[in-house]
């Protein structure tokens, strides 16, 4: 079964298709960054030149502008929607094919194992996209730089560190070690 899946993958995903997908991802990223950067360069900046954030991101830069930023906010929102919708659409279509393939697996154990792998991936993707969409898709009226800093740290640092834990929870040895650690902590807390 594994060999046939590998053969099917190499038949469907040729080297040229792989290069086209990579080129498309880079082109999309470049174009979205170019549009957003161009929209920011249309503004006048006066006063403080210190960004109230951990890194140079568009919303904190727009706060420093002394001109009207409504157009840039709309452009940035639309770019975020386009990138977010395109990414989510690709993920949903991919998972539609994956679910159809998993449902065709005859053994219940095989289906469970495949869905377990999918659940780990969906958890990681949901955490990443959820926090990213929270930062870039909310209206400027509810914008808080302090709240944005916390969420930015979450999606830039915490989620990448949590991903190995999410994926390793499928491992039986890791599950057993965690169960033992929780039981030991429960016994220690009862003793005090």
The chain-wide mean pLDDT, for the chain, equals 81
Question: How confident is the model over 9-23, as a mean pLDDT?
Answer: 83
Note whether 32 and 79 are within 8 A (CB). Answer: yes
Q: Report the alpha-carbon distance of residue 176 to residue 68 in Å, rounded.
A: 57
Radius of gyration of the chain (CA): 22
Tokens of 42: 């249309």
What's the pLDDT at 139?
66
pLDDT tens for residues 125-181? 888 888 777 777 766 666 677 777 887 788 788 888 887 877 777 677 777 887 888
pTM of structure: 0.68
Note whether 2 and 10 are within 8 A (CB). Answer: no
Q: Report the alpha-carbon distance of residue 30 to residue 21 in Å, rounded.
A: 14
* DSSP code of residue 154: I
């Amino acid at each position: 079964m594994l060999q046939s899946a590998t053969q099917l993958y190499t038949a469907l995903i040729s080297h040229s298709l792989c290069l086209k997908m990579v080129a498309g991802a880079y082109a999309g990223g470049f174009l979205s960054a170019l549009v957003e950067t161009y929209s920011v360069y249309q503004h006048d900046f006066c006063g403080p030149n210190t960004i109230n954030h951990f890194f140079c991101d568009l919303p904190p830069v727009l706060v420093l502008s002394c001109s009207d930023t409504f157009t840039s906010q709309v452009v940035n929102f639309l770019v975020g929607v386009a990138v977010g919708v395109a990414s989510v659409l690709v993920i949903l279509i991919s998972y539609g094919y994956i679910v159809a393939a998993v449902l065709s697996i005859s053994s219940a154990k095989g289906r469970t194992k495949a869905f377990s792998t999918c659940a780990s991936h969906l958890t990681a993707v949901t955490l990443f996209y959820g926090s990213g969409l929270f930062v870039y898709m909310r209206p400027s009226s509810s914008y808080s730089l302090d709240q944005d800093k916390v969420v930015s740290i979450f999606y830039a640092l915490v989620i990448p560190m949590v991903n190995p834990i999410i994926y390793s929870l499928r491992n039986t040895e890791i599950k057993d070690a965690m169960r033992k650690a929780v039981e030991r902590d429960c016994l220690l807390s009862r003793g005090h």
